[in-house]
Chain A
């Protein structure tokens, strides 16, 4: 059975089309990744699905309820982890969770029991009496996630859940998300961290300028670029410019200081061409490796966006 059904969903702000008639279904218990650069329409799509914005075309059903006709029922069945940790700074962790419990009409006799379960699961017990503003970013994200789960929603929307977190906190949060998925909760996840989506998601939709350009499993998306291997070459000496490398026949060449990344159908030929250039320029090869293309490569190939663009996106989020 489908947890989310989206048919020809559109949103237009004035003359600007934010979402262009997208369609997809998400099965119950699935972890669904929604990837795309800023302005692709991810947040607008989420806003329509959670009842914060009205579509200008198409339909969407969440937990079996139409988002326009029954937004209140939709809200009862979903939890939302927004990108911004938007709990209340002046309230403690416990007070925040208690407030959210009341908003979701959890019977007062069950509130404390449910809060304690979540404090335990999210390892927040020792911070119960701490004000939200005094928590670290990682603890704030865990508290926000706990708040989204208080009413035991069937579907959880997560917008950039690990954005701005350090490596350890991000890993801990990913583990919690995986645990949640294992317990059968449907997860709709947006993230800029493509490899994170690859680890967590059963399927990924790539959204560019309001259109879904690809929707498949991470493995299937990777397979789009698996046939085109990448060689990475490290060298000493003067830094080579893209002009120096013009004679190499390749699908894509990236230069990053004294490291080159060449995507090519013919590794031997590209390598021998590079050796010639290196000799001419006095560069000394340090290391050569063949790399299996990842999901990021698939994303770049399928969306037509550059790596620089993606990096700017990531930096913008930090």
Chain B
């Protein structure tokens, strides 16, 4: 197995997915509109507190952008036989899934960058540690794109993927410290929150935007662990489902 061939396959899949699915005007506008609407809604309710909410909103926009599109793209390709075309090519199953996940990651990053620009240019939020902020954004996009892939390879239809995604996404919004700090939540929910990658994204982004470095390294390492685990899980589930 040649690494060059695998990387060539991954690049080709990313390029194709971005062109065929992600960078279509409706997807881009939805991806950008979603965080803007969220930001506006929260600013109407609590104009002063918006800066505090910025890290959570950026994470949430990335979560929704990546999981929605990833789940749709993979399930759609499974249904029309396009994923089978990829499996017939001389590249590994891991490379196919990594290519798919990275396509979703790039889309998620574009959305999170737009959201960050909005938060910093118009709402007064600040990024105090840019390099760590970028690292955390990338890890957040990879982890949640991989989560979308896990969902997509586990189901057959697009609507099933959307429903299953919501089982993860909506509890995450309330459990992961976006609106309510983790410390103020009941102990059991705090333990539960620690099982979800979004918790670490919000915590790390907040640290990058408030000049504190609390737990940032630990959060980054745990997010990296989630990325590896979810990519592995998506490949394993895909392989298992294919055989059955």
Taking beta carbons and an 8 Å cutoff, which residues of A are in contact with B? 50-54, 72-73, 75-76, 80, 82, 84, 86-91, 95, 99-100, 102-105
Contact = CB atoms under 8 A, between A and B. Distances in A.
Contacts of B1: 72
B89 A86 contact: no
Residue of B13, B21, B90, B242 contacting most chain A CB atoms (<10 Å): B90
Interface stretch (B43-51, B79-87, B111-119, B159-167): B79-87
Interface stretch (B4-12, B143-151, B206-214): B4-12
B19 A105 contact: no
A75 B88 contact: yes
Contact of B85 (A51, A53, A73, A87): A87
A100 B9 CA distance: 9
SS of A interface (majority) = loop
A94 B9 CA distance: 18
Give the bracket for the number of chain B residues in contact with chain A: 20 to 34
Interface string B1-28: 1000100110111011001110010000
A312 to B, nearest CB: 24
B90 A75 contact: yes
Contacts of A95: 19
Contacts of B242: 52-53
Contact of B90 (A52, A84, A104): A104
Contacts of B19: 90-91, 95
A52 B91 contact: no
Contacts of A51: 88
Interface string B183-226: 00000000000000000000000000000000000000000000
Contacts of B91: 103
B20 A90 contact: yes
A105 B24 contact: no
Residue of B19, B21, B243 contacting most chain A CB atoms (<10 Å): B19
Contacts of A72: 1, 90, 92
B20 to A, nearest CB: 4
Given A54-B243, A84-B81, A88-B82, A75 B89 contact: yes
17 contacts: A51-B88, A52-B88, A53-B243, A72-B90, A82-B81, A86-B81, A86-B85, A87-B82, A88-B20, A88-B82, A90-B19, A99-B15, A102-B8, A102-B11, A103-B12, A103-B86, A103-B90
Contacts of B20: 88-91
Nearest to A88: B20
Given A72-B90, A75-B89, A102-B9, A86 B16 contact: no
Given A54-B243, A76-B90, A90-B24, A99 B12 contact: yes
Interface in B22-42: 24
A110 to B, nearest CB: 14
B198 to A, nearest CB: 31
Nearest to A52: B87
B16 A91 contact: yes
A88 B89 contact: no
B9 A103 contact: yes
Contacts of B85: 82, 86-87, 100
Nearest to A90: B20
Nearest to A144: B85
Contacts of B90: 72-73, 75-76, 103-105
Nearest to A89: B20
A196 to B, nearest CB: 22
B16 A82 contact: no
A73 B21 CA distance: 30
Contacts of B12: 99, 102-103
Nearest to B17: A88
Interface in B49-95: 80-82, 84-92
Contacts of A52: 84, 87-88, 242
A105 B5 contact: yes
A52 B20 CA distance: 25
A104 B87 contact: no
Contacts of A104: 89-90
Contacts of A76: 90
